[in-house]
Structure 1
Amino acid sequence: MVVDDFAKYVPLPAAIHLRIVHNTGTFTLTMTAPHEFDPQLLSEVAALPAMPGVYRYFDAEGGVLYVGKARDLKKRVSTYFQKNHGGTRIGHMVTKIARMETTVVRSEAEALLLENNLIKSLNPKFNILFRDDKSYPYLKLASHSFPRVAYYRGAVEKKHRYFGPYPSAWAVKETILLLQKVFKLRTCEDTVFNNRTRPCLLYQIKRCSAPCVGHVTPEQYALDVANAERFLQGQAEEILTELEKQMRGHAEKLEFEQAAELRNQMSALSKVLHQQSMETGGDKDVDILAVKVHGGKACVNLAMVRGGRHLGDRPYFPTHVEHAADLAGLDGDSPQPAGAEAAGKIKSLEALVLEAFVAQHYIDVPVPPVLVCSQPVDKELIAALIMQTGNKVTAIHQPREQRRIWLEMAQKNADLQLARLLAEQGSQQARTRALAEALELALDNLDALRIECFDISHTAGESTQASCVVFHGHKMQSAEYRRYNIDGITPGDDYAAMRQVLMRRYSKLAEAARNNTARLPDLVLIDGGKGQVSMARQVFEELGLDLGLIAGVEKGEGRKVGLEELVFADGREKVYLGRDSAALMLIAQIRDEAHRFAITGMRAKRAKVRVGASRLEDIAGIGPKRRANLLQRFGGIRGVTSASAEDIATVEGISRELAEEIYRVLH
């Protein structure tokens, strides 16, 4: 076939091999027909309305692939199925689509809000996704006749006043310190406040006006609270003017003590204003957003100005950024014209990341009136935020004066944070590679390496818990951590506890792995030496699992860090990786995380179980040693409580009289 006649054979119905003759030679061209979709899916696409809405794509296992919004659902969704996207990430995603869901809304703004709510809740594989498990801290003015100022994190209640959010706990505590210096508001808990008979140290160092003992009238304290609220809202200059008038009024009445107090308050407030005057430039509530994309990763740095004070910044690292560039071409309702990218009509990856952050972040967080952004933000997105909040919101790109300085600072911090992340990830990948090579793990893809590590924790046999932590994808996966309450064993028997947790963890998993419905880890780390590994060996032999998966982390000589050795269940010789080994660093990181997770779980369980345990130490004659003997003998406070006086008297160091006293107190 001559190449000039090639066009008449397009489109091709299936994979066809064409022998093409040209004056420069002969070569073969292979063309593949587009992916064939389920006819029912295509009929659903054809039946879509030409209205605003949100669509979701699902794979055969029910996993969410992508969530998108459209001004015209029919037109937008059709572009995915009418074009041949080749080997792009879009093409890869489209071939996985098995099912689709759509929701029709009234406007594109509503579609935008719904889209980002669904992205945060469904965690689709091909959307830019910002995850932030930590809630923002707030400054709280608790409802009370003498309100207290406090650090707060959690759900807000209408009866209290909240200010924020703040980017960090440090910013809240620094603000509380300022309020104490200037307005002398109390910070003590209500239980302490209600039982004070004399002022505390904060009164002595002039950080509290001591309302607990009546050193300030309710009216004066209420005025201080009102001024503190105005200060947090950025009205410090107005407060300063009013305080000056009040001071002059007291001076004219010869009330010099009251005038001196106001003078000191004005002095403290003036110092705060002087410290902040060069930073704020008159703005009260502003968020500064800077984005940096490099090496397939992205960072959005958020800096906050609240009440005219720059409170610091906070970095965010989205996932699935690598898919955004390919999907950007389908982000509009119509194909982009030729040369659009050069004309700036196609959004940059930085702009896409920034818009994804704005849309997802402000679902749960109040939006300030001004956003200073390193990239332009779509007007439709700002309109959606205004509709959501009911307040005016302005996004400023290419700012001037003080705002430009803020943005440059935020951009620099975004660059530094992203560089740090890439360096850490490179280091972590190097550690993973070093461990795989040291243990001769046959892996084609290091990203798939999965390690599970177990540890046992208890206090003298009380509240025994086992932890299982998971390392996968070059990092710890906290969402996959598990704790196991250990029961039915002799208190303090770590071997029995290890046997129980391994049996519970792998009995079902082994069966699922044999049916190819689950995957066993590539390495099972046990925090312990030969005894613990021997117990793990017994469990794996009973379950028919590969003994080569087990490695124990045995303490070295003198239990010194860096001298640990690996003990194997399949008969291999011990391995000492070396103090400076990257592989040992990774093993130590995983082992320490398992230990931390076990300890925190055990302490929480112990605190919950000890209903009356503290009363043991309150009994005359019961010290730490006798208490430990009691708890170890009966397996915890519940066992002590259920024991008779005769049984308690059999414990070493417990007399008959003391046993009866213990029984009386606990009952």
Structure 2
Amino acid sequence: MAAQAHLQEQIRHLPHRPGIYKYFDAEGRIIYVGKAVDLRKRVSSYFTKQDHNKKTQQLVKNIERIEFTIVDSESDAFLLENNLIKQHQPKYNILLKDGKTYPYLCITNERFPRVLPTRNKINDGSRYYGPYASVTGMNLILELIRALYPLRTCTYNLSPENVAAGKYKVCLEYHLGNCKGPCQDLIEEEIYNQHIQQIRNILSGNLTVAKGYFKERMMEAATDQQYELAHQYKLKLDKLDDFQTKSMVVNPSLSNIDVFSIASNEKSAFINYLKVMNGSITQTQSLEVQKKLDETDAEILAPMVMQLRQDFESESKEILVNVELPPLPLPGVKVAVPEIGDKRKLLNLSIKNVLYLRKEKESMNEKSKDVNEVRIMEQAKKDLRLKDLPRHIECFDNSNFQGDNPVAAMVCFRNAKPSKKDYRHFHIKTVVGPNDFDSMYEIVTRRYRRLLDEGASLPQLIVVDGGKGQLGMGVKALKDLGLWGQIPIIGIAKRLEEIYVPNDPLPLYIDKKSETLRLIQRMRDEAHRFGITFHRSRRDAATLKTELTDVKGLGPVTADKLLNKFKSVKKIKELSESELVSEIGKAKAKVLLDYFAQQDVPARSAE
């Protein structure tokens, strides 16, 4: 793909150094940002390779100017590319997700802290946990905490002076048992802070401390014969066990690991992220990324690893992935593709999730297509005034050139889509010369007589390529078969794309932008293409057979044998003498070789 002269000049001056490059369009907008180990080689490849896909070809067409920035390493280029994509959101780059709207759980920085959900992190000394991939997941943890610990929800300033002065009274939450009344000094601050510390452990993925605390309290209460209190602690212990089960304990020895997997199709890439802390999966996120160019899975996943780690504030020192990634700018972090063991099982779980997401999205797309198809068929039913939804439509076309090798074709559409296994070719048998009308009568008659004989289902609509004449012959065929009135039939005239119905001299009005007309035109064009292809193959075969059978000493059986195997005279000419001998014997091979040699001798010019 040749570059414009001014771009070629720019490319010649690019350094063989790592860095990032920016492509600008004619309006000065950044349309693509990329990174490279060698800037000159990478940028020049856009203009020299011939096998780019259509999206990349379109990108190259729109490039008017190139800018670049040299950096010290590939890792630096990775980071700079990431930042520029987020800043400029170029048209041809994959746009990375922005995690600003993910929810957090906040333990407030105040006396008798509160635990509350928020989307805004404020630098006031409070502790934030998360972010969480979904509000539902966050609320499950919040409900667990409120079920285990009686925390205050009020916004009072519970300073020692205010509490001692008796400024506040207990509220309904106290009487319901959801709060221990710190506003009236009814719970010791030390005990309340013990609860807060256990909540911090739970939010960090460590349930051991909280479970040990409730188990110890339960045993103490049972020893003191306070069985009702012991039962309350037992219920709280059960809640922790239930939550830990739902948190999917994978292996206590696996701690602080990020797991990423990717699966893609032509249009999209699907990514799954698992965050493992203290042997449990504490965060999961699955997402779809639209491909902009022909990116590989590794090229898509590498920046998404960086982005998701940033969004979920991960500090894990180990990353598991299902594809080899380029070096990431993460000092001290190990990136691996495990093949066996518990880590492989963990990766397989992520892969299972991402494959399910891809299947689900593709299924939704298929359902969306089905909805579109029903809409098209309903519109056709309305426009053509049909009784039934045209789920099965057949379209006929004649193909002949000056009466030579007359053939016809029928294409079948089911649910507004081509059903190629139901396509049929016809050799015109009863018509002599180029007569489209009689040919149409023959093929319609032959098609539906056969369906009737076989007891096969009939279409809900027949389309014939042609105007009132061809339509009339199609109607005659249906009448002779006793099918008139059972199958609607229409004709489409080529010149003005008009639709004709039987017994009406005027064409049926259909909006030129209607999906019905587009469907009929598509069927007509497909029937024409299918018929022309068949006609050419017959014509070419007839021409080839004539050429070989004209060779004296070579009969039609031998000619057919060679043509059926090698398909063309050109390929037969390329055979060696020994190959020909093995196919048709020494004598016939000599006849054919002499014939080819004679054909290759140039004619003498007249003296």
Question: Secondary structure, in 3 states, of the residue corresponding to 1:318?
Answer: strand
**349-358 or 147-156, which moves further after superposition?**
349-358
CA-CA distance at 1:237 after TM superposition: 2.2
CA distance in structure 1 between the partners assigned to 2:49 and 2:132 by the alignment: 47
For residue 323 of structure 2, the aligned residue among 370, 373, 376 is 376
Q: 1:305 to 1:182 in 2, by over 3 A?
A: farther
CA distance in structure 2 between the partners assigned to 1:166 and 1:269 by the alignment: 24
Check if 1:398 corresponds to 2:338: yes
After TM superposition, the structure 1 = structure 2 runs for residues 369-518 of structure 1, keeping only pairs within 5 Å, are 369=316, 373-378=320-325, 380-381=327-328, 384-386=329-331, 392-398=332-338, 403-429=343-369, 431=371
Check if 1:200 corresponds to 2:145: no
Match of 1:320 in 2: 291
Check if 1:361 corresponds to 2:308: yes
Question: Secondary structure, in 3 states, of the residue corresponding to 1:351?
Answer: helix
CA-CA distance at 1:371 after TM superposition: 5.5
CA distance in structure 1 between the partners assigned to 2:339 and 2:239 by the alignment: 28
Q: 1:365 to 1:86 in 2, by over 3 A?
A: closer
Per-residue CA distance 1:343-386 (angstroms, 9 max, x = gap): xxxxxx333332232133334441241565441342611xx133
CA distance in structure 1 between the partners assigned to 2:368 and 2:151 by the alignment: 47
Question: Secondary structure, in 3 states, of the residue corresponding to 1:290?
Answer: strand
Check if 1:46 corresponds to 2:12: yes
Say if 2:271 and 2:287, in contact at 8 Å, map to a contact too: yes
**Partner letter of residue 166 of structure 1?**
Y
**Partner letter of residue 18 of structure 2?**
P
Structure 1: gaps (5+ residues): 1-33, 326-348, 387-391, 441-571, 574-667
Q: Which runs of 4+ in 1 moved over 6 A?
A: 191-195, 242-248, 254-257, 259-263, 433-440
For residue 200 of structure 2, the aligned residue among 225, 229, 235 is 229
**Partner letter of residue 319 of structure 1?**
Q
Q: 1:245 to 1:311 in 2, by over 3 A?
A: closer
For residue 279 of structure 1, the aligned residue among 235, 249, 269 is 249
Q: 1:103 to 1:407 in 2, by over 3 A?
A: same
CA-CA distance at 1:315 after TM superposition: 2.1
CA-CA distance at 1:417 after TM superposition: 2.2
Match of 1:113 in 2: 79
Q: 1:436 to 1:155 in 2, by over 3 A?
A: farther
**Partner letter of residue 425 of structure 1?**
N
**Partner letter of residue 220 of structure 1?**
I
Question: Secondary structure, in 3 states, of the residue corresponding to 1:385?
Answer: coil
Match of 2:183 in 1: 212
Check if 1:351 corresponds to 2:298: yes
Question: Secondary structure, in 3 states, of the residue corresponding to 2:2?
Answer: coil
Say if 1:286 and 1:369, in contact at 8 Å, map to a contact too: yes
Match of 1:157 in 2: 123
Question: Secondary structure, in 3 states, of the residue corresponding to 1:279?
Answer: coil
CA distance in structure 1 between the partners assigned to 2:41 and 2:124 by the alignment: 45
For residue 303 of structure 1, the aligned residue among 253, 274, 277 is 274
**307-316 or 61-70, which moves further after superposition?**
307-316
Q: 1:272 to 1:86 in 2, by over 3 A?
A: closer
CA-CA distance at 1:134 after TM superposition: 6.7
Per-residue CA distance 1:64-115 (angstroms, 9 max, x = gap): 3321112232332233344445665434422321111212223221110111
Q: 1:140 to 1:74 in 2, by over 3 A?
A: same
CA distance in structure 2 between the partners assigned to 1:157 and 1:83 by the alignment: 51
Match of 2:108 in 1: 142
For residue 2 of structure 2, the aligned residue among 15, 35, 38 is 35
Per-residue CA distance 1:565-587 (angstroms, 9 max, x = gap): xxxxxxx99xxxxxxxxxxxxxx
Per-residue CA distance 1:204-224 (angstroms, 9 max, x = gap): 555433323322122221222
Per-residue CA distance 1:533-564 (angstroms, 9 max, x = gap): xxxxxxxxxxxxxxxxxxxxxxxxxxxxxxxx
The TM-score, its normalising length taken from structure 1, stands at 0.48
CA-CA distance at 1:49 after TM superposition: 3.0
Say if 1:55 and 1:102, in contact at 8 Å, map to a contact too: yes
CA distance in structure 2 between the partners assigned to 1:274 and 1:425 by the alignment: 37
Say if 2:270 and 2:287, in contact at 8 Å, map to a contact too: yes
Match of 1:458 in 2: none
CA distance in structure 2 between the partners assigned to 1:170 and 1:57 by the alignment: 42
Q: 1:271 to 1:410 in 2, by over 3 A?
A: same
Match of 1:124 in 2: 90
Check if 1:178 corresponds to 2:144: yes
Check if 1:80 corresponds to 2:51: no
**Partner letter of residue 236 of structure 2?**
A
CA distance in structure 2 between the partners assigned to 1:307 and 1:205 by the alignment: 35
Q: 1:270 to 1:86 in 2, by over 3 A?
A: closer
Question: Secondary structure, in 3 states, of the residue corresponding to 1:126?
Answer: coil
Say if 1:138 and 1:166, in contact at 8 Å, map to a contact too: yes
CA distance in structure 2 between the partners assigned to 1:432 and 1:189 by the alignment: 54
Question: Secondary structure, in 3 states, of the residue corresponding to 1:145?
Answer: coil
Question: Secondary structure, in 3 states, of the residue corresponding to 1:227?
Answer: helix
Structure 2: gaps (5+ residues): 381-509, 512-607
**Partner letter of residue 285 of structure 2?**
R
CA distance in structure 2 between the partners assigned to 1:36 and 1:368 by the alignment: 44
CA-CA distance at 1:153 after TM superposition: 1.3
Say if 1:289 and 1:407, in contact at 8 Å, map to a contact too: yes
CA-CA distance at 1:407 after TM superposition: 3.3
CA distance in structure 2 between the partners assigned to 1:288 and 1:361 by the alignment: 11
CA distance in structure 2 between the partners assigned to 1:133 and 1:165 by the alignment: 8
CA distance in structure 2 between the partners assigned to 1:186 and 1:151 by the alignment: 14
Question: Secondary structure, in 3 states, of the residue corresponding to 1:112?
Answer: helix
**261-270 or 272-281, which moves further after superposition?**
261-270
| CA RMSD, 1 decimal | 4.1
Q: 1:242 to 1:158 in 2, by over 3 A?
A: same
Q: 1:101 to 1:374 in 2, by over 3 A?
A: same
Say if 2:257 and 2:275, in contact at 8 Å, map to a contact too: yes
Question: Secondary structure, in 3 states, of the residue corresponding to 1:317?
Answer: strand
CA-CA distance at 1:55 after TM superposition: 0.7
Match of 2:594 in 1: none
After TM superposition, the structure 1 = structure 2 runs for residues 59-78 of structure 1, keeping only pairs within 5 Å, are 59-78=25-44
Say if 2:144 and 2:239, in contact at 8 Å, map to a contact too: no
Which of the two has higher C-alpha Rg? 2
After TM superposition, the structure 1 = structure 2 runs for residues 601-612 of structure 1, keeping only pairs within 5 Å, are none
CA distance in structure 2 between the partners assigned to 1:261 and 1:143 by the alignment: 31
Say if 1:38 and 1:98, in contact at 8 Å, map to a contact too: no
Q: What percentage of residue pairs aligned between the two structures are identical?
A: 27
Say if 1:171 and 1:311, in contact at 8 Å, map to a contact too: no
Q: 1:133 to 1:271 in 2, by over 3 A?
A: closer
**Partner letter of residue 272 of structure 1?**
L
CA-CA distance at 1:395 after TM superposition: 3.1
CA distance in structure 2 between the partners assigned to 1:377 and 1:352 by the alignment: 10
Say if 1:324 and 1:352, in contact at 8 Å, map to a contact too: no
CA-CA distance at 1:190 after TM superposition: 4.6
Q: 1:76 to 1:379 in 2, by over 3 A?
A: closer
**Partner letter of residue 330 of structure 2?**
L
After TM superposition, the structure 1 = structure 2 runs for residues 581-600 of structure 1, keeping only pairs within 5 Å, are none
Q: 1:246 to 1:419 in 2, by over 3 A?
A: closer
Say if 1:126 and 1:324, in contact at 8 Å, map to a contact too: no
